Amino acid sequence: MNLTIALVGNPNSGKTTLFNQMTGSNQKVSNLPGVTIESKEGLVKGHKGVKVVDLPGIYSLSPYSAEEVVARDYIINQKPDVIINIVDATNIERNLYLSLQLMELKTPMVIALNMMDEIRNSGVFIDIQQMKETLGIPVVPISASKNEGVHDLIHCAIETAQKRLLPKKIDFCTGPVHNAIHSISHLIENEAKAAGLPLRYSATKLVEGDDLVMETLKLEEPEKDIIQHIVDDMEFHLETDREAAMADMRYCFIEELCDRIIKKGGESKAHLRSIKIDEILTHKYLALPIFLGIMLVIFWLTFGPLGTWLSDFLGAGIDHLASITDAALSRTNINPVLHSLIIDGIFVGVGSVLSFLPLITILFFLLSVMEDSGYIPRVAFVMDKLLRRLGLSGRSIVPLLLGFGCSVPAIMAARTLPSRRDRYMTIILVPFMSCSAKIPIYAMFTAAFFKEHQALVMFALYIMGILVAVCCALLLKGTIFSGNPVPFVMELPNYRMPVLKSVWLRMWENILGFIRRAFTIIFLATIVIWLLQSFDAGFNMVESSDQSMLASIGILAVPIFAPLGFGDWRAATALITGLSAKEAVVSTFAILLDAPNATALPAMMSEIFTPLTGFVFLVFCLLYMPCVAALATIRKEMGSTWKASAVVLFQTSVAWIVAFLVYNIGKMIL
């Protein structure tokens, strides 16, 4: 038996929970709180050869967001044997909107009616039998988090797949929409067959005006004209536009269905509780301060004493391991070059990154709790209006805030955005939020040049990062990212007590990703930088790094930075090594200036900088391209080296221009 089950449903309907129940720990995973962008795959426990694929959470099959296109293309092209459509029973009307569209895909399908535990507690009764009959497909009530009904669901899905039971009814329409769909169906029968698209689906998509489907069908001009005519006619009769007509038709049907199957015995308890909580958390004036307060607490827990202590502790452990290894290597009298590579290169490089693991763990734990409790959609809702003016959607707020900690998880968090446009814009702006790795640079420079105004200068840098991001957002919105953020569907799920197991699983996925990165990309980068720092162009090991290849490269970069006031090869080199990790800027200065220890370093900085050029250097550090780890993440999330290169070029150009302006304006004032 070889079967593929596709799991489809709205965000927050419990897909991931169900997926975990079905597969156990038996899965290839890499998704973040919120929406799954990549499809995850796993084998169903106890059923050999049965594979389940978790598709991205979606609200409909329209072509407006990357996820929806990915999901529908997957079903049409990969032809899974059966769809499990997971429906949140506490939000049944909104969820069935997707179900009706899925049923048009001519694929065997089962509805998993989830969250039945809550329905049970709320006094609501859902007539499952009636629902099955009206929809013409199997409906299995389950509770994914309590692992109830999952067994039955799997059996039902396998049976439906093996017997290839297609949805019995797909014709839910009436009136002018009905006429339009059926006329178009007749017209495009051959084209749909040739293109391998389900006929009914093609027809409804043409009524909606879906350009992607239109293209795939390769229609002739006369046919297009007839379709346009049919649609015009429908719009004229209904006095609404085509998309609204389809939506109305679907909701009408759903309303009737729900009237028939839902017997209310009072509002659901969970829902009433949610409304109460929301009176405070999404209050007109309180919402923002509460949100800021929660973020502050999260940052404090992550980057404050607890996280720092754990990081230092892990860092010390790694250092200890390094010195043990160092001693062991010395005893074996191994080749000194290899010795230096292992100790100065790999241990220092990979170790300095790995020591951030506790921060990442705490951050993702807290975020998972926020996500699981249902608070994140509220934040997005509260921030939506403000961010919309900048061409961003409310959901962008989470990645942007995370950017103050570290760009890597922040860029990954952009996956929660529903459209590619919103996601790209957010990814481009995240690195302008000053990440915590830059704090040592700021601290060192302000100690050197701005002793009296240390806090003020730091604050100015953070604000400058935000302002530059705002300007860039407006610029991007007016140019390559014109168009609007995806409308924010205000469907606030009920608050729930976070379930430890799902919090843990979410967190674990992210931690694993981070560790994997440290041992692949960062591992390679540190080896390259170590090589450049330790050898000259003739591959002789150098005594001091100013004879190294790195220095020769630094000298090449000098003309670029001369107009900014710091045309010194050491400054250029520090910026280059800073690409491995921003903290490396400080350690590079320490090595290149031959500082006896860290405390002596600030006093020696005036060899290279004046207070003005020092500040300009900080501005450049704030804005220029992110470190390799962030870079690799951008590349992965955008899925293309070219796009990532363009982003980096854009950010570095912005950094150069702003630094240039600051330098010249500064020169005029001082």
Separation in Å, CA 397 to CA 129, 132, 292, 436: 43, 41, 11, 18
Q: According to CB under 6 A, which one of 5, 6, 8, 13 is a site residue for ligand GDP?
A: 13
Q: Which residues of 424-439 are buried (b: 16+ CB within 10 A; e: fewer)?
A: bbbbbbbbbbbbbbbe
CA separation for the pair 19, 53 (Å, rounded): 8
DSSP secondary-structure letter at 88?
E
Residue 43 engages ligand GDP in binding (rule: CB under 6 A): no
Q: Which stretch binds ligand GDP (CB under 6 A): 12-20, 380-388, 524-532, 558-566?
A: 12-20
Number of residues engaging ligand GDP in binding (CB under 6 A): 21
Residue the block writes with tokens 């150098």: 542
Q: Which of ligand GDP, Mg ion, none sits in contact with 12, Cβ below 5 to 8 A by type?
A: ligand GDP
Element of type H or E holding 385: helix 376-388
Q: How far is the CB of 616 from Mg ion (least distance, A)?
A: 45
The answer to whether 117 touches 148, Cβ cutoff 8 Å, is yes
- Restricting to residues 78-117, which ones interact with ligand GDP according to CB under 6 A? 114-115, 117
Instruction: Return the number of the residue (118 or 210) whose C-beta is nearest ligand GDP.
Output: 118
Q: How far is the CB of 440 from ligand GDP (least distance, A)?
A: 37
Q: According to CB under 5 A, which one of 10, 16, 526, 573 is a site residue for Mg ion?
A: 16
Q: Is residue 28 helix, strand or coil?
A: strand
Instruction: Return the number of the residue (148 or 546) whose C-beta is nearest ligand GDP.
Output: 148
Closest residue to Mg ion in the complex (CB): 16
CA separation for the pair 666, 663 (Å, rounded): 5
Residue 499 engages ligand GDP in binding (rule: CB under 6 A): yes
CA separation for the pair 389, 371 (Å, rounded): 25
Q: Which stretch binds ligand GDP (CB under 6 A): 95-103, 315-323, 496-504, 517-525?
A: 496-504
Q: According to CB under 6 A, which one of 67, 81, 210, 372 is a site residue for ligand GDP?
A: 372
Q: How far is the CB of 67 from Mg ion (least distance, A)?
A: 11
Count the residues in the chain: 670
The answer to whether 596 touches 375, Cβ cutoff 8 Å, is no
Q: Which stretch binds ligand GDP (CB under 6 A): 14-22, 199-207, 220-228, 433-441?
A: 14-22
CA separation for the pair 533, 344 (Å, rounded): 11
The answer to whether 371 touches 33, Cβ cutoff 8 Å, is yes
Q: Which stretch binds ligand GDP (CB under 6 A): 11-19, 59-67, 76-84, 524-532?
A: 11-19
Separation in Å, CA 6 to CA 72, 93, 295, 639: 11, 22, 36, 23
Q: Which of Mg ion, ligand GDP, none sits in contact with 42, Cβ below 5 to 8 A by type?
A: none
Q: How far is the CB of 639 from ligand GDP (least distance, A)?
A: 22
Q: How far is the CB of 115 from ligand GDP (least distance, A)?
A: 4
Q: Is residue 504 helix, strand or coil?
A: helix
Q: Which stretch binds Mg ion (CB under 5 A): 13-21, 198-206, 243-251, 272-280?
A: 13-21
Residues 6+ apart with CB under 8 A from 54: 7, 15, 16, 19, 31, 36, 39, 40, 41, 42
Q: How far is the CB of 52 from Mg ion (least distance, A)?
A: 13
* Token pair listed for 444: 């060192």
Residue type, 118: E
Instruction: Return the number of the residue (16 or 534) whose C-beta is nearest Mg ion.
Output: 16
Q: What angle do the packed helices 454-478 and 420-429 form, to 10 degrees?
A: 150
CA separation for the pair 70, 63 (Å, rounded): 9
Residue 216 engages ligand GDP in binding (rule: CB under 6 A): no
Q: How far is the CB of 18 from ligand GDP (least distance, A)?
A: 7
CA separation for the pair 426, 418 (Å, rounded): 12
Residue 57 engages ligand GDP in binding (rule: CB under 6 A): yes
Q: According to CB under 6 A, which one of 105, 144, 157, 188 is a site residue for ligand GDP?
A: 144
Q: According to CB under 6 A, which one of 99, 122, 145, 183 is a site residue for ligand GDP?
A: 145
* Token pair listed for 404: 């103050």
The answer to whether 555 touches 569, Cβ cutoff 8 Å, is yes
Q: How far is the CB of 148 from ligand GDP (least distance, A)?
A: 7
Q: According to CB under 6 A, which one of 5, 12, 396, 638 is a site residue for ligand GDP?
A: 12
Residue 23 engages Mg ion in binding (rule: CB under 5 A): no
Site string for Mg ion, 65-104 (x = CB under 5 A): ----------------------------------------
Residue 12 engages Mg ion in binding (rule: CB under 5 A): no
Separation in Å, CA 34 to CA 5, 620, 632: 21, 34, 22
Residue type, 119: I
Residues interacting with ligand GDP, by CB under 6 A? Answer: 9, 11-17, 57, 114-115, 117-118, 143-146, 372, 496, 499, 502
Residues interacting with Mg ion, by CB under 5 A? Answer: 16
